[in-house]
Amino acid sequence: MGIAKSGIALQLSKKTLRTYLWLVVFLLAAHGTPAQEKGLQEKNGAEAVRFAARVESLLGAAPVNKGEWGLLVVDAESGVTLYQQNADDYFLPASNMKLLTTALALDTLGPDYRFRTTIETNGTLGAGGKLTGDLILVGRGDPNLSNRKFPFETKEEFDGAPEKVLAEMADAVAASGVKEIAGDVVGDDSYFPRERYPDGWEIDDMVWEYGAAISALVVNDNTVTLTLTPGEKAGDAAQETLEPDTPEFSVRTAVTTCRQSEKGDLRLTREPGTNAVVVSGTLPAKSDPRKLTLAVQEPAQHAALLLAEVLSRRGIKIDGNVRAIHDPDPNESTRTVLVEHLSIPLKDSVKLVNKISQNLHTEVLLRTAARQQGRWETPEDLQKFPAAFYAKVGIREGDVIQTDGSGLSRHDLVTPRAFVALLQYAQIQPWFPAYLASLPVAGEDGTLNERMKTPPLAGKIQAKTGSLTHVRALSGYAETPGGRKLIFSFLSNNQGAKNHEVHEAIDGLCLAMVEEFDEKRETTK
């Protein structure tokens, strides 16, 4: 019995140790200071002790207690640290990495920057409409050559075919008088050095839309959508459609219809580096169609094939082949621009990126910003580019280890303090309104639309989520019921808990934060 009591006492002391340490720290900090400063520190100390107790209750409970946590909360106006736990330790940031990249893009390019995509030729157009030479689609990083509607409001919306922008450019080619191309149709993505997959992306990522290959040519997010429609009764073969349908993508299906009462089961097989996909399994009778969004392997080739298709639909004859080029053309300056397409402003693109956490778009933002200083030679050179920005922001050297822009890489490492420093810097920049507007709003939109849907959190947390296997993160801005502005970063790694369990813990931290650090609470007590 005595051993059991000792064990309980030890457990309790571990649970409350951090709370006691916080109390000691703040009492020591207050000792010997002027009265006004002492009062502020005592108030902050009381807030922190209460918050620390709630942190211990939330994060000390199974199953989230088996993971690692890094927390930092500061007052947005004064910069005073209100609470920290492992704030200088490294964590896999997942999509919190997008906070860094989108800020870098806005700071480097400006919120009104527009991407430029052109159709060019190295030949001449004859009087009869015959173009003697190649027709070249040149990408410069526009991530929205698609049918996506802007501006983003509360959800993604689409209008028309996935190749909508290419079709509009093809209309302009036809209007310029081109009736025949006595050359090739070329996709040119040489604006970025070729690096389809950053270090640390996993082989499974490359199959799906979230791991789509990086290119300066991005048409329909470099994806195709396979739709499988079950039959009316068990035993019927499922019907398939591919959109956009291009010849380089091969799909073989062996999907049958099962009884309506049964649960469907689909299996997809795809060899790495190929566009050959095999789908097998079952779908319940009369159930809704299933959509699988698959990444293409060669974006420039895919874009050129789509362009050739829409040109052919307009009666333009193509004599040559369809191909891609990835290295700069030494004769590029002699080309003639036939069609130019300017993108939406960068601020609208950034809003989409952060609201829905779009990986590919983030990667092209990083590369477009870096490209303003010229072409880099290696992925390592690209990784060095953000360092000057981080130094300007006030992020300490070594607090960010970066191998991609989106956070999909399992080799990224960032401290909570780095994110808070970035968010502090951002709030005093002229581009901050665009940046803040890009962050998901609790209970309203983006990746937070189904979380924290009730007061005092609904509409009062604007933050970027992050999610990888065993990783969950949330960093951004908060407003308390009394109007106090807070900046926070909550990072969790090595989580074996279910997603909703970690989300509940993080949401609980947010609730504790806005309640315990609310100045209104202090003045009304």
- What span, in angstroms and rounded, lies between the C-alpha atoms of 417 and 70? 9
Residue type for position 253: T
Residues 76 and 217 in one domain: no
Helix, strand or coil for residue 266?
strand
Residue 235 falls inside a structural domain: no
Is residue 491 within 8 Å of 91, Cβ to Cβ? Answer: yes
So what's the pLDDT on residue 272?
76
Residues 80 and 185 in one domain: no
Residues 104 and 13 in one domain: no
Within 13 Å, how many C-alpha atoms sit on residue 108's CB side?
Answer: 21
- Which ranges of 372-498 would DSSP assign to H, the alpha helix? 379-384, 387-393, 416-426, 432-438
> Six-digit token pair at 73?
């909360």
> Six-digit token pair at 37?
């400063």
Is residue 274 within 8 Å of 280, Cβ to Cβ? Answer: no
Residue 124 falls inside a structural domain: yes
For 120-173, the pLDDT digits (tens) are 999 999 989 999 999 999 999 999 999 999 999 999 999 999 999 999 999 999
Q: How far apart are the first and last CA of the chain?
A: 44
- What span, in angstroms and rounded, lies between the C-alpha atoms of 226 and 224? 7
Residue 233 falls inside a structural domain: no
> Six-digit token pair at 92?
């896999």
Residues 477 and 426 in one domain: yes
Domain boundary among 301, 317, 344: 344
Residues 352 and 405 in one domain: yes
> Of these residues, 146, 190, 349, 357, which one is catalytic?
357
- What span, in angstroms and rounded, lies between the C-alpha atoms of 260 and 334? 62
Distances (CA, A) of 25 to 18, 29, 49, 94, 329: 10, 6, 10, 32, 63
Residue 232 falls inside a structural domain: no
Residues 46 and 97 in one domain: no
- Is residue 94 left, alpha or beta, with left meaning phi > 0 and alpha meaning psi from -120 to 50? left
Which CATH number fits the domain that encloses residue 152? 3.50.80.20
Residue 413 falls inside a structural domain: yes
Which CATH number fits the domain that encloses residue 469? 3.40.710.10
**Apex 26 CA angle, 22 and 27, nearest 5:** 115
Residues 91 and 143 in one domain: no
Residue type for position 430: P
Residue 42 structural domain: 1-60
Is residue 342 within 8 Å of 336, Cβ to Cβ? Answer: no
* Number of structural domains found in the chain: 3
- What span, in angstroms and rounded, lies between the C-alpha atoms of 203 and 191? 25
Closest CA to 209 of 268, 297, 273, 293: 293
Residues 17 and 35 in one domain: yes
> Of these residues, 98, 164, 351, 460, which one is catalytic?
98
Compute mean pLDDT per 10 residues along the chain, 525 residues long, and list them. 32 41 42 43 77 97 97 97 97 98 98 98 95 98 97 94 97 97 98 96 92 97 96 94 89 94 92 86 95 95 97 97 96 96 98 98 98 94 95 97 97 98 98 98 98 98 98 98 98 96 98 93 49
Active-site residue flag, 95: yes
Residue 234 falls inside a structural domain: no
Closest CA to 271 of 360, 215, 204, 359: 204
Residues 74 and 49 in one domain: no
Domain boundary among 325, 344, 363: 344
Residues 337 and 366 in one domain: no
Active-site residue flag, 525: no
Residue 300 falls inside a structural domain: yes
For 76-89, the pLDDT digits (tens) are 999 999 999 999 99
- What span, in angstroms and rounded, lies between the C-alpha atoms of 16 and 34? 30
Residues 95 and 121 in one domain: no
Residues 337 and 356 in one domain: no
> Six-digit token pair at 13?
């002391």
Residue 513 falls inside a structural domain: yes
